[in-house]
């Protein structure tokens, strides 16, 4: 299947972003223009933080940098109508740190705004993506494994419903049909780059990723990296004609691969990512050989300084692992001046990542006992689930 969205494929294109591929070095300003989203400006950011009653470094540092209708979400919040949250995961293997970041941010949104969250596990999508070579049994198994990681984030079980497409399909199918009838082949071909060789499951699939944005008759806010935005574009074009709100979205940048600023972390290059099930030794090994912004020798580094813009260890600290702005500022300056060596930056990141994984993995163990609360027995889960079984 040709998975390069044709809207994304410009003659001058030096990078490509689709829900399935990130190639080249992403220019986020250009991407916002191509996708037709808006940058979160200072005014909107301040309004958002005021409504939340608290700041978050993912917002402050513009890791979540772009949006659709975030202002309308805040209007709804302020006038008491409220909104709901929707995000998801394609269970194709173990999750890496980039995959879990939107879930931590979604938890923060839930805590601050007391909103319901729907989490879609697209076991169907990952089976249909033939290039992955996964069996349906594989994607079922990864759905279970990934659900544990998602529960480990600590979402409110009474306000969170986690569902897996192959299990919950009966409930989604009537809405999916209404959605599918509004979308023709030319449209999804233009948005997703499908071809005559694409299997028909994949061609129908966008309807299923759109459905949860219609689960409530309220505005939906979708926190995710910007690669998923093409689905929301279609949802927004058809939602009102079906009697629903256009979905809102808040988009993040990509946590860069350990191997350097080009492309995205991928299972075919395990050295490019830290997986949530990596042990301490593996973490140390992978970070130690990560792409660095330092000079070839210590002498040169002390003299010329390093480049934090491309230093992956620094970028990871800034992206997620060091929430203290003063510390980040000092690290950046000291690295630029050659006071901090690349090895020291990496050691700091190794400590942070190891501590994070230790805690995450412990919570993941506890999640095995909590699964039912999110899939079947929590307040929201029960309400959603009984639509099929009662
Ligand atoms: P998936 O499994 O590819 O990705 C899961 C989530 O992780 C985000 N993401 C990243 N975030 C930061 N840095 C990265 N390097 C990085 N790589 C991926 C993705 O944007 C996503 O938020 N089809 C979807 C599953 C899905 C979904 C959704 C995702 C279904 N409904 C609604 C978001 C919102 C998928 O395969 O995601």
Q: Is 264 in the pocket of ligand 1 (CB under 6 A)?
A: yes
- Going by CA atoms, what residue is nearest to atom 22 of ligand 1? 224
Residues with Cβ within 8 Å of 54's Cβ and at least 6 positions away in sequence, in order, are 112
**Which fold would CATH assign to domain 5-257?**
Rossmann fold (3.40.50)
Tens digit of each residue's pLDDT (9 = 90 or more) over 10-45: 445 689 999 988 888 899 999 999 999 999 999 999
Please choose, from the candidates 147, 61, 56, 163, the residue with its C-alpha nearest in 3D space to the C-alpha of residue 99: 147
- Residue 248 backbone phi and psi in degrees, to 5: -100, 160
Q: Is 252 in the pocket of ligand 1 (CB under 6 A)?
A: yes
Question: What distance in angstroms lies between residue 89's CA and the mean position of ligand 1's atoms?
Answer: 5
CATH class label, 270-366: mainly alpha
d(CA 131, CA 113): 39
The ligand 1 atom nearest the CA atom of 257: 15
Strands (E), 111-165: 117-121, 160-164
Question: What distance in angstroms lies between residue 330's CA and the mean position of ligand 1's atoms?
Answer: 32
Question: What distance in angstroms lies between residue 227's CA and the mean position of ligand 1's atoms?
Answer: 7
d(CA 278, CA 291): 19
Q: Is the separation of the CB atoms in 168 and 147 below 8 Å?
A: no
The distance from CA 193 to its chain's CA centroid, rounded to whole angstroms, is 21
Tens digit of each residue's pLDDT (9 = 90 or more) over 133-180: 999 999 999 999 999 999 999 999 999 999 999 999 999 999 999 999
User: For residue 201, is it left (φ>0), alpha (ψ between -120 and 50) or beta?
Assistant: alpha
Which residues of the chain does CATH 1.10.240.10 include?
270-366
pTM of the model: 0.96
d(CA 56, CA 344): 26
Burial class (CB in 10 A: 0-12, 13-18, 19+), 167: middle
Q: Is the separation of the CB atoms in 254 and 22 below 8 Å?
A: yes
Which residues of the chain does CATH 3.40.50.620 include?
5-257
Tens digit of each residue's pLDDT (9 = 90 or more) over 185-239: 999 999 999 999 999 999 999 999 999 999 999 999 999 999 999 999 999 999 9
Best residue among 92, 102, 131 to mutate for probing ligand 1, ranked by most atoms within 8 Å of CB: 102
């Amino acid at each position: 299947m040709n998975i390069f969205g044709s809207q994304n494929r410009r003659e001058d294109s030096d990078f490509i972003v689709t829900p399935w591929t990130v190639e080249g070095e992403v220019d986020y300003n250009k991407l916002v223009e191509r996708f037709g989203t808006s940058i979160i400006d200072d005014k909107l950011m301040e309004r958002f933080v005021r409504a939340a009653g608290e700041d978050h470094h993912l917002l402050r540092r513009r890791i979540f940098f772009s949006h659709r209708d975030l202002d309308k979400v805040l209007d709804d919040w302020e006038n008491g109508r409220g909104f709901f949250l929707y995000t998801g995961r394609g269970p194709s293997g173990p999750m890496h740190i980039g995959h879990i970041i939107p879930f931590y941010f979604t938890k923060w949104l839930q805590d601050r705004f007391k909103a319901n969250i729907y989490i879609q596990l697209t076991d169907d999508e990952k089976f249909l993506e033939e290039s992955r070579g996964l069996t349906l049994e594989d994607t079922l198994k990864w759905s279970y494994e990934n659900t544990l990681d998602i529960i480990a984030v600590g979402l409110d079980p009474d306000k969170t419903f986690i569902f897996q497409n192959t299990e919950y399909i009966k409930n989604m199918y009537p809405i999916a049909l209404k959605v599918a009838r509004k979308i023709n082949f030319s449209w999804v071909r233009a948005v997703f780059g499908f071809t005559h060789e694409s299997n028909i499951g994949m061609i129908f699939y966008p309807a299923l990723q759109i459905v949860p944005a219609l689960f409530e008759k309220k505005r939906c806010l979708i926190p995710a990296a910007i690669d998923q935005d093409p689905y929301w574009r279609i949802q927004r074009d058809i939602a009102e004609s079906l009697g629903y709100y256009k979905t809102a979205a808040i988009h993040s940048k990509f946590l860069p691969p350990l191997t350097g600023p080009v492309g995205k972390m991928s299972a075919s290059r395990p050295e490019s990512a830290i997986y949530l099930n990596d042990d301490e030794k593996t973490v140390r090994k992978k970070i130690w050989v990560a792409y660095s912004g330092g000079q070839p020798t210590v002498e040169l580094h002390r003299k010329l300084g390093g480049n934090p813009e491309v230093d992956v260890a620094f970028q990871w600290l800034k992206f997620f692992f060091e929430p203290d702005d003063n510390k980040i500022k000092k690290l950046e300056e000291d690295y630029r001046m050659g006071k901090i060596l690349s090895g020291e930056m990496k050691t700091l990141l190794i400590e942070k990542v190891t501590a994070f994984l230790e805690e995450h993995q412990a919570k993941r163990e506890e999640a095995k006992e909590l699964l039912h609360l999110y899939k079947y027995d929590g307040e929201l889960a029960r309400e959603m689930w009984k639509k099929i079984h009662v």
